[in-house]
Chain A
Amino acid sequence: MAGGVPVPRGAAKTGGPAGYTRYSGGSNTPHLSKNIRMSMSTSALLLLIAAMAALGYWLGKYRSLALVGGGRGIRQLHSLPSYYGLLTALWCALPCLAVLAIWLACQDGLISSLVTRDLGPAPSGAANLGLFMNDVRNFASGSVPAAGVGQQVQVAAAHYQRLRGISSLALTGIILVMGLLATFWARSRITPDLRARNTVEAIGEKVLLACSTLAVFVTLGIVLSVVYESILFFRSVPVHEFLLGLQWSPQTAMRADQVGSSGSFGAVPLFLGTMMISGIAMLIAVPVGLFSAVYLAEYANRRFRSFAKPLLEILAGIPTVVYGFFAALTVGPALRTFGESIGLHVASESALAAGLVMGIMIIPFVSSLADDMITAVPQSLRDGAYALGATRSETIKQVVLRAALPGIVGGVLLAVSRAIGETMIVVMAAGLAARMTANPLEAVTTVTVQIVTLLTGDQEFDSPKTLAAFALGLVLFLVTLGLNIFALYIVRKYREQYE
């Protein structure tokens, strides 16, 4: 029974066939099976390039040795033979990779436009055209039976497939020819005086630089993608309504004439819910984390410390989905039962349960940062306090903690930013209904919960509902970024003070 018993679940949880969330931000949604074949051929091409590069390495290396008459003449070479090999391989691989990347980026758009141009009387309108091309791709990849599509689609699909075939054949040919030409050209350029090592190392350094720049591009990518979709959202919902509105009900209707078809996107209840849950979490994490850091840094002997610190840090390594499960199925019901026994109504998805468990999760985060800060306080400050007759706790309270305060505040801010961005615990243990309440026993919802619910639902593309998730993401990103920059600045400033 490999692969399990094939029992279809029918409509899957998240909606859509086989549970794919049916979200798409543009009209030109590419599809699964097209990509399977595309990536198969891509990996085959990558293998081809690697093989040609290996050939180039071998050719270059032995060419350089042959030029100086074998291993004996190696001193006449400017660089070691393997550098000549590497240089040849790079000459072969780099242009091929560039062509491959450009080709893959352009091919789909080009083929689609060719298909639509040759179509004759095309369905009008950009959105229609996108849908039509989707049908064509689906049919071409065989995921839709012939009965389900029109005649026009079938014709177009055949055309599409032919063009794709031509394209992939042409790409393979171009890469093969170009790779081999470049290899032999590079080989012919090898002379004993060629500064192969310098060239190879210059390229190597460029690669290293490119890798380190990736971080900047990731940030840029986050900002661009989130901001772009947010702008689309703010076109239909004004910024002030989003940031100051008190009503959050993103259920846009399927038909325009239904009641409440517009939905309302006032995010204040989400911000309040996020703040409440993070606040509860910090109420747990800061005292427990701080006190345990003080105890471990100032009181505990080495044996206890070496046993307790790793144990506490286990809490930081547990996946958040586990905490979510714990909050939803252990802490939540327990709080509810306890509340009933003393005559209090506790919602089964109360803010308290989520906040409590999130607090537990953040304890090690606060404690290890505070521990660092406390141990960074110079011993001379403590000695001074002891010399004045202060007890240990007085020294800690009045000297050590005060000296470490900026660092600790920085650490707590980092913890706050983590609490705000935490997703799984709240998705599993907090509610969905946006409510304006100050009662921690009621269910509230948070920014991250709404992002997940909006994007894993079943919805039409370009609806304000999905775009709202990006606007929320933008707010989340900006707030956590601000907190992080501020906190890192404080921590760095503090570290420099005692260095």
Chain B
Amino acid sequence: MNSRSAADTRLLVEKSLRRRAWAERRFRAYGLGAVLVGILFVFFLFGSIISKGYSAFLQAGVTLDIYFDPEIIDPAGTRQPETLATANYTSLVRAALRQQFPEVEGRPRTRALYELVSNSASFELQHLVEADPALIGKRQRMSFLAAANVDQLLKGRIDRKRAEATRVLSDDQIGWIDALAAKDQLKLKFNKGFFVHGDSREPEQAGVWGAVVGTLYTLAVTLLLSFPIGVAAAIYLEEFAPRNRWTDLIEVNINNLAAVPSIVFGLLGLAMFLNFFGMPRSAPLVGGFVLTLLTLPTIIIASRAALKAVPPSIREAALGMGASKLQMVGHHVLPLAMPGILTGTIIGMARALGETAPLLMIGMVAFIVDVPKSLVDPATVLPVQIFLWADSPERAFLERTSAAIIVLLGFLILMNATAVILRNRYERRW
């Protein structure tokens, strides 16, 4: 009786052990699965954006023989700047296209032909002639931007097999494109314009430079304000503040501000800076102010941690040698904490770089062609530019948006890598 029950128990235990071992393995697999899902998302996100955006770094260009016809540019032969500025350069490009395809006749078809070249061509010619009027009367082989749809076709993003009526390019146009490509007059080149131009309504002419400059101005204001103020606040709280209610209030405030939604800072910027103080709309200056308020908590918290990590013995030694408290901080504690503070600052700036919502509130969401030249010029920033392009219906903007995201992520990776290197190289463990 007794021995049977022992065998039973043993069986029971073995069975349950197997079950528990399975449960153990299952639990572990869930954990690993969760980590892998997370990592998969990272790769999927990057893969999807890079595969959509890499092609924007190439751009289709058309090579045409342009005859700088004196009859069209300057029939009177005066070479007056006004005449040169207002001449009909578009017709030069059109003439070159007609010469390329003499068989094209009739208004609808010639118009379809003209659509192959971006309308930036005439501006290019204008600038060229204004710079060098001697060109008039000459013939020159020149390269222009192709229209966005031509570009998309060459990159294989427009389906040739679709019915003509639902396609953005007609059969005729595709025939001309193929003919040009066969003669090597139409090909993909490195897209320099993307990095040097401002925004544009035409996808093929749009670039990120305006947004990059706006971003640099905005971040410069943010850094100049948030770094000194944040470090000063951290020093006060860590080294000078007496423990009382006021200090507690400040601490609770800083911790809470770090978690307030960024759009609320935008509302503050709108009500306070724009309406109350009457600062200019869309200006990098105000954007910098708002982002300063946003990054201050991050910088203060990081700086406090860095200051806290400096051992008290250093402070005691400095005070023992007769330094005043401010001298102790300035000469000893702060330099030792600097790598940590800089790391925190860079991370805060990286966060500010990616911030969009508060800038929408203060009107940085505007279509701005010109590259901003000062802190109060209307400007936009890279994330807002991405937001604007993502909204555009044109297909060609899709790849530009992805390319702008690649540029933004490139900046972010650069900043975070700097922070990591700084931390690994200079941070001291006590």
Residues of A within 8 A of B370 (CB): 3-4
Distance between Cα atoms of A434 and B17 in the complex (Å): 54
A312 and B39 contacting across the interface, CB-CB below 8 Å: yes
A20 and B366 contacting across the interface, CB-CB below 8 Å: yes
The digit string for B265-297, where 1 denotes a CB below 8 A from any CB of A, is: 101101110011011111101000000010011
The digit string for B390-407, where 1 denotes a CB below 8 A from any CB of A, is: 110000001001100100
Residues of A within 8 A of B236 (CB): 205, 208-209, 211-212
B127 and A1 contacting across the interface, CB-CB below 8 Å: yes
For the complex, count residues of A whose C-beta is within 8 A of B. 114
B20 and A328 contacting across the interface, CB-CB below 8 Å: no
Residues of A within 8 A of B202 (CB): 5, 7
Distance between Cα atoms of A107 and B270 in the complex (Å): 21
B234's nearest neighbour on chain A, judged by CB, is A212
The digit string for A448-490, where 1 denotes a CB below 8 A from any CB of B, is: 1001100110000000000001100100110011001100100
A318 and B354 contacting across the interface, CB-CB below 8 Å: yes
The digit string for B350-380, where 1 denotes a CB below 8 A from any CB of A, is: 1001111100110101111111001110100
B250 and A212 contacting across the interface, CB-CB below 8 Å: yes
Q: Is A397 an interface residue (CB 8 A)?
A: yes
Residues of A within 8 A of B350 (CB): 317
Q: Which of B260, B356, B402 contacts A222 (CB 8 A)?
A: B260
B27 and A480 contacting across the interface, CB-CB below 8 Å: no
Residues of A within 8 A of B252 (CB): 485, 488
Q: Is A338 an interface residue (CB 8 A)?
A: no
Distance between Cα atoms of A456 and B270 in the complex (Å): 11
Interface residues of B in 217-275 (CB under 8 A from A): 228-230, 232-237, 240-241, 249-250, 252-257, 259-265, 267-268, 270-272, 275
Min CB distance, A16 to chain B, in Å?
Answer: 8
Q: Is B33 an interface residue (CB 8 A)?
A: yes
Asked whether A226 and B264 contact (CB < 8 A) given A9-B367, A201-B326, A484-B256, the answer is yes
B201's nearest neighbour on chain A, judged by CB, is A9
Asked whether A299 and B31 contact (CB < 8 A) given A20-B281, A456-B360, the answer is yes
Min CB distance, B105 to chain A, in Å?
Answer: 30
Asked whether A225 and B45 contact (CB < 8 A) given A13-B367, A296-B35, A329-B390, the answer is no
Q: Is A194 an interface residue (CB 8 A)?
A: no
Q: Which of A23, A208, A488 contacts B232 (CB 8 A)?
A: A208
B268 and A226 contacting across the interface, CB-CB below 8 Å: yes
A424 and B387 contacting across the interface, CB-CB below 8 Å: yes
Q: Which of B209, B237, B353 contacts A319 (CB 8 A)?
A: B353
A455's nearest neighbour on chain B, judged by CB, is B361
Q: Is A440 an interface residue (CB 8 A)?
A: no
Q: Which of B31, B206, B275 contacts A26 (CB 8 A)?
A: B275
A3 and B369 contacting across the interface, CB-CB below 8 Å: yes
A201 and B354 contacting across the interface, CB-CB below 8 Å: no
A201 and B325 contacting across the interface, CB-CB below 8 Å: yes
Binds B, one of A53-61, A123-131, A142-150, A388-396: A388-396
For the complex, count residues of B whose C-beta is within 8 A of A. 121
B296 and A326 contacting across the interface, CB-CB below 8 Å: no
Q: Which of B119, B259, B371 contacts A3 (CB 8 A)?
A: B371
Asked whether A24 and B275 contact (CB < 8 A) given A321-B386, A325-B386, A421-B262, the answer is yes
Asked whether A3 and B198 contact (CB < 8 A) given A36-B280, A36-B376, A292-B35, the answer is yes
Interface residues of A in 239-263 (CB under 8 A from B): none
Asked whether A448 and B261 contact (CB < 8 A) given A207-B232, A393-B27, A484-B256, the answer is yes
Q: Is B210 an interface residue (CB 8 A)?
A: yes
Residues of A within 8 A of B421 (CB): none
Distance between Cα atoms of A452 and B267 in the complex (Å): 10
Residues of B within 8 A of A442 (CB): none
A214 and B296 contacting across the interface, CB-CB below 8 Å: yes
Q: Is B110 an interface residue (CB 8 A)?
A: no
A6's nearest neighbour on chain B, judged by CB, is B369
The digit string for B138-174, where 1 denotes a CB below 8 A from any CB of A, is: 0000000000000000000000000000000000000
Residues of B within 8 A of A485 (CB): 252, 256
B271 and A228 contacting across the interface, CB-CB below 8 Å: yes
Distance between Cα atoms of A318 and B356 in the complex (Å): 12
Residues of A within 8 A of B260 (CB): 222, 421, 477, 480-481, 484
Asked whether A212 and B233 contact (CB < 8 A) given A5-B200, A326-B49, A477-B264, the answer is yes
Q: Is B30 an interface residue (CB 8 A)?
A: yes
A322 and B259 contacting across the interface, CB-CB below 8 Å: no
A423 and B24 contacting across the interface, CB-CB below 8 Å: no
Distance between Cα atoms of A288 and B360 in the complex (Å): 32
Binds A, one of B60-68, B70-78, B408-416, B422-430: B408-416
The digit string for B20-57, where 1 denotes a CB below 8 A from any CB of A, is: 11011011101111110111011001001100100000
The digit string for A332-348, where 1 denotes a CB below 8 A from any CB of B, is: 00000000000000000
Q: Is B207 an interface residue (CB 8 A)?
A: yes
Residues of B within 8 A of A318 (CB): 45, 354, 409, 412
Q: Is A364 an interface residue (CB 8 A)?
A: yes
Q: Which of A25, A215, A394 contacts B296 (CB 8 A)?
A: A215
A201 and B324 contacting across the interface, CB-CB below 8 Å: yes
B20's nearest neighbour on chain A, judged by CB, is A391
Q: Is A308 an interface residue (CB 8 A)?
A: yes
B300's nearest neighbour on chain A, judged by CB, is A215
Q: Is B124 an interface residue (CB 8 A)?
A: yes
A215 and B253 contacting across the interface, CB-CB below 8 Å: yes
Interface residues of B in 189-224 (CB under 8 A from A): 196-202, 205-207, 209-210
Q: Is B388 an interface residue (CB 8 A)?
A: yes
Min CB distance, A367 to chain B, in Å?
Answer: 7
B207 and A225 contacting across the interface, CB-CB below 8 Å: no
Asked whether A320 and B354 contact (CB < 8 A) given A205-B240, A420-B261, A480-B261, the answer is yes
Min CB distance, B42 to chain A, in Å?
Answer: 5
Q: Is B123 an interface residue (CB 8 A)?
A: yes
The digit string for A395-431, where 1 denotes a CB below 8 A from any CB of B, is: 0110000000000000000100110111110011000
B255's nearest neighbour on chain A, judged by CB, is A488
The digit string for A158-187, where 1 denotes a CB below 8 A from any CB of B, is: 000000000000000000000000000000
Asked whether A32 and B271 contact (CB < 8 A) given A319-B412, A360-B41, the answer is no
B366 and A322 contacting across the interface, CB-CB below 8 Å: no
B254 and A225 contacting across the interface, CB-CB below 8 Å: no
Min CB distance, B398 to chain A, in Å?
Answer: 7
Q: Which of A25, A311, A393, A470 contacts B28 (CB 8 A)?
A: A393
The digit string for A40-61, where 1 denotes a CB below 8 A from any CB of B, is: 0000000000000000000000
Residues of B within 8 A of A321 (CB): 354, 356, 383-384, 386-387, 390
Distance between Cα atoms of A13 and B385 in the complex (Å): 12
Known: A9-B369, A35-B280, A423-B263. 11 other contacts (CB 8 A): A7-B369, A18-B368, A20-B363, A225-B271, A225-B276, A288-B37, A324-B387, A367-B38, A394-B24, A448-B261, A456-B361
